[in-house]
Amino acid sequence: MWEQKNNTLYRKFEFSNFSEAFAFMTRVAIEAEKMNHHPLWTNVWNRVEIWLSTHDAGDVVTDKDRKLAEKIDALL
């Protein structure tokens, strides 16, 4: 579930291995590029953490972030 904290939407995802985590990141990257809205994220082995905020709006959470979060959830 996404949490709103420190002016971001945050969620941690865990997969069974690195390949699944990386494949998920690839799918997210395609959707993010379509929206021209790129997340801050990290990946360590099977874990992907994502922080969403809208830089053009002053690094706060906007509808653009909520829409991308919905698209990311649909990729699971």
pLDDT for residue 58? 87
Please give the tally of structural domains in the chain.
Answer: 1
Tens of pLDDT, residues 45-73: 999 999 999 988 988 999 999 999 999 99
Tens of pLDDT, residues 17-40: 999 999 999 999 999 999 999 999
Range of the domain at 58: 3-74
- Domain with residue 48: its CATH number is 3.30.1360.20
* Long-range own/partner contacts, residues 20-28 (CB < 8 A, 24 or more apart): 20/46, 21/45, 21/46, 21/47, 21/48, 24/48, 24/75, 24/76, 27/75, 28/72, 28/75
Query: What pTM, to 2 d.p., does this model score?
Result: 0.94
Q: How confident is the model at residue 8 (pLDDT cuts 50, 70, 90)?
A: very high
